[in-house]
Amino acid sequence: MEWNGVLDHYFNYLPVKERKNIVSLSEGNSPLIRARNIEETLNDDLKVYLKYEGANPTGSFKDRGMTVAVSKAVEKGEKAVICASTGNTSASAAAFAAKSGLEAIVVIPEGKIAFGKLSQAMMHGAKVVQIKGNFDEALEMVLEISDDYPVTLVNSLNPNRIEGQKTASFEISDFLGRAPDYHLLPVGNAGNITAYWKGYKEYYDSGKTGRLPKMTGFQAAGSSPIVDGKKVENPETVATAIRIGNPASWEKAERARDESGGMIGKVTDDELVNAYRTLAASEGVFCEPASAASVAGLFKMDGTDYFDQGSVITCTLTGHGLKDPDVAIESSEQPKTVGKSVSEVLEVAGL
Ligand SMILES: *Cc1c(COP(=O)(O)O)cnc(C)c1O
């Protein structure tokens, strides 16, 4: 099959008017990987699939929304886009802006961006502004700026982002020939859970699928405003992509949860890192720490009575592990250094 990105493939479901305005990096069509090794370790009888969004051009699902947001900005004749970011939005905005010829301005919390993501924004030529504050404060600033100046906001408050991101649930349904019974994913600013739910409902309403999944989101325990029912002033977690204390799509996430009969829970950093390492070591899939919240949540709910036996589960792995090599190296056993003798290599290798 020829693949030219989500706007080309799902054009009739998306808001861009003319194909000539499409700005695409051939995003989407990411792998849906059956996780048989993980299935075998579960108490429940489940079919588990991983939607590996790290395979997108800039290494996260943000590309699905950004192609629509930037194409719409082109269609409207805009000159610049702006976003606040924990890293991946800025990487994606910078790449799509580079492709389109628009300028990108990205505002990020100083020292809290994984290095891979920062390097992307810099390489794609965005104007990178670091603030001595957190993501929530950066978002308030770009909202004010985009109100007063001729720049288009490309955070997930921009509905075009949500439109593009819903294509992940289309792909899953097209691939499986049905919607899953449960869809698990990390929740940060809560745009993605909103987008997936919108996509599943649209496919259901158009008769493409005959069921709706229970939307099952997970926040990091140190930044779990939706679970705890209150804003978190100083969110903390190793999973920087979901280090958000006041999610922009808070109510929409609650609606997705409640309409679908799902849940939003929280997982500790230890649980996150355990799932992150298990995915890499037993399934060969390297995602970034925040992404593993979905599978950490799967492990957490396994053996409770949350899942019906025999269910089909899809877990979104939102971004690529190479984005944040520091956490990977810190949480792994360090390589041993030996002299230049074969016997020493053999000893370390256990041969
Ligand atoms: C953006 C992002 C999230 C959080 O998605 P929201 O739509 O903000 O809930 C999770 N993981 C990764 C890797 C991300 O880039």
Burial of 99 (0-12, 13-18, 19+ CB in 10 A): middle
Report the atom number in ligand 1 closest to the C-alpha of 187.
9
CB 326 within 8 A of CB 115: yes
The CB of 186 under 6 Å from ligand 1? The reply is yes
Pocket of ligand 1 contains residue 188 by CB under 6 Å? yes
Write a three-state SS string for 261-316: CCEEEEECHHHHHHHHHHHHHHHCCCECHHHHHHHHHHHHHCCCCCCCCCEEEEEE
For 322-344, how does the pLDDT look when each residue is reduced to its tens digit (9 = 90+)? 999 999 999 999 999 999 999 99
Ligand 1 pocket check for 189: Cβ under 6 Å: yes
DSSP string, 95-160: HHHHHHT-EEEEEEETT-S-HHHHHHHHHTT-EEEEESS-HHHHHHHHHHHHHHSS-EE-STTSHH
Q: How far is the CA of 188 from the centre of ligand 1 (A)?
A: 6
Rounded Cα distance between 122 and 91, Å, is 8
In this structure, are residues 220 and 135 in contact, taking their beta carbons and an 8 Å threshold? no
- pLDDT tens-digit profile of 18-77? 999 999 999 999 999 999 999 999 999 999 999 999 999 999 999 999 999 999 999 999
pLDDT for the residue numbered 344: 96
- Residue pair 239/326 in contact (Cβ under 8 Å)? The answer is no
Ligand 1 atom 14, closest CA: 241
Atom of ligand 1 nearest to the CA of 189: 8
State in Å: Cα 93 to ligand 1 middle.
14
DSSP annotation of 320 reads B
The C-alpha atoms of residue 1 and residue 32 are separated, in whole angstroms, by 16
Q: Which residues of the chain have pLDDT under 70?
A: none
Is residue 242 within 6 Å of ligand 1 at its C-beta? yes
CB of residue 190 inside a 6 A radius of ligand 1: yes
- Residue 21: what pLDDT? 98
CA of 334 to the centre of ligand 1 (A): 29
Q: Is the CB of 9 under 6 A from ligand 1?
A: no
Question: Which of 240, 318, 324, 327 to probe ligand 1 with, by most ligand atoms within 8 A of CB?
Answer: 318
**Residue corresponding to tokens 């989101």:** 217
Report how far ligand 1's centroid is from the alpha carbon of 22 (Å). Answer: 24
90 lines ligand 1 (CB under 6 A): no
Q: Is beta strand 32-34 parallel, antiparallel or unpaired with respect to 311-317?
A: unpaired
Ligand 1, atom 15: nearest CA belongs to which residue?
Answer: 88
- Give the C-alpha distances (Å, rounded to integers) separating 292 from 120, 253, 346: 22, 19, 34
Which pairing describes strands 46-52 and 32-34: parallel, antiparallel, or unpaired? antiparallel
**Ligand 1 pocket test, candidate residues 120, 242, 316, most atoms within 8 A of CB:** 242
Probe target for ligand 1 pocket from 88, 118, 139, 193, with the most ligand atoms within 8 Å of CB = 88
Helix (H) or strand (E) holding 41: helix 36-41
Q: How far is CA 198 from CA 191, 195, 256, 330, 349, in A?
A: 11, 5, 8, 37, 50
Q: Residue 41 has which token pair?
A: 């370790």
Query: Closest ligand 1 atom to the C-alpha of 61?
Result: 15
**Residue 291 in contact with ligand 1 by CB distance below 6 A:** yes
Cα-trace Rg, the chain: 20
In sequence order, the β-bridge partners of residue 52 are 317
